[in-house]
Chains A and B, each alone.
Chain A
């Protein structure tokens, strides 16, 4: 997988996470995984199909998801959330929409044309993801609320 595919996602995630949490965000080192890997407990996944195909995964612990959703909901006159309820999931879904929306616009401007699937949220313990035939590039983002991994697996369609 080419690194140029992941950069727009990393830039978008950095900017948007900073904005919605109103805190510091530290970008970790990029690494590559070609076998199956563990998922942290809450995963928002969006599929891509077109000139390129694959998926983008935002991966975090349940605790981080609750804290990030709470930060997003701050000032919106809703009950503070203590667990990942419907509103919490809707918030994380929207976070995934914001990040992929911004990244995909950048990729479209670079000439890559493809469509996105609506995001889905998986929650559970001891989850793993395996992408056969596509390498995944991961960039961890350290927030005050915990770590969010931006996990992108994309390949060109033949």
Chain B
């Protein structure tokens, strides 16, 4: 999906998915919607990030994180998912790795769960519908913390 914000402006190209040493930031996308997974992946890869894995629910997300650790820089975590929700998965990831960089992806109207996630240790959050600018800004902000 291309929204107005999807066309990067050449003048403000400070955004980049590449670290100072030239290697890409490695991302794990956890979302039960194939559409949203594709959308996040497309936005991030177009800026040089590398999607190292995707997971369709929280349980799978935690497993992937443990497998990939420490070769993972950031996780995008949907909140509402089957089997294990994103807040529980976040908790489990933080239990495993206190330094984990997790960005929550929330539907509108889930402020309470977003607050809870931030208290548990999520670095940032993005409210759907997603747009390119918002996704890149929030993910880079959380990586720079």
* Residue numbers in A under 8 Å from B39 (CB-CB): 76
**Is A28 in the interface zone, CB < 8 Å from B?**
no
Give the most central of A19, A71, A87: most B CB within 10 Å.
A19
Q: Which of A90-98, A136-144, A149-157 contacts B (4 or more CB under 8 A)?
A: A90-98
Q: In whole Å, how far is B125's beta carbon from the nearest beta carbon of chain A?
A: 14
Contact residues in B for A118 (Cβ distance below 8 Å) = 80
Contact A98 B42 (CB under 8 A): no
**One of B28-36, B86-94, B135-143 contacting the partner:** B28-36
Q: Is the CB of A97 within 8 A of B107?
A: yes
Q: Are A94 and B109 in contact (CB under 8 A)?
A: no
Which of B1-9, B14-22, B57-65, B116-124 has 4 or more CB atoms under 8 Å from chain A? B1-9
Q: What's the least CB distance linking B31 to chain A, in Å?
A: 10
Cβ–Cβ contact A104 & B1, under 8 A: no
Interface residues on A, range: 20 to 34
Which residue of chain B has its CB nearest to the CB of A104?
A: B109
Which positions 83-106 of chain A face chain B at CB distance < 8 Å? 86-87, 90-91, 93-94, 97-98, 101-102, 104-105
The one of A19, A73, A94, A102 in contact with B108, judged by C-beta atoms closer than 8 angstroms, is A102
Tell me if B128 counts as interface (CB < 8 A to partner A). yes
With a cutoff of 8 Å between Cβ atoms, the chain B residues found around residue A101 in the complex are 107-109, 128-129
| Chain A nearest CB, measured from B113 CB (Å) | 12
Q: How far is the CA of A87 from the CA of B39 in the complex (A)?
A: 12
Question: B42: which of A76, A86, A90, A104 is its contact (CB, 8 Å)?
Answer: A76
B1–A76 touching, CB < 8 Å: yes
B38 within 8 A of A: yes
Q: Which residues of B contact A94 (CB under 8 A)?
A: 33, 35-36
Taking the closest CB of chain A, its distance from the CB of B5, in whole angstroms, is 10
A23 to chain B, nearest CB (A): 12
Given contacts A87-B38, A90-B33, A105-B109, contact A16 B129 (CB under 8 A): yes
A72 at the B interface (CB under 8 A):
yes
Binding site for B on A (CB under 8 A): 16, 19-20, 22, 71-78, 86-87, 90-91, 93-94, 97-98, 101-102, 104-105, 108, 118
Given contacts A97-B107, A97-B128, 4 further A-B contacts (CB under 8 A): A78-B38, A87-B34, A94-B33, A98-B129
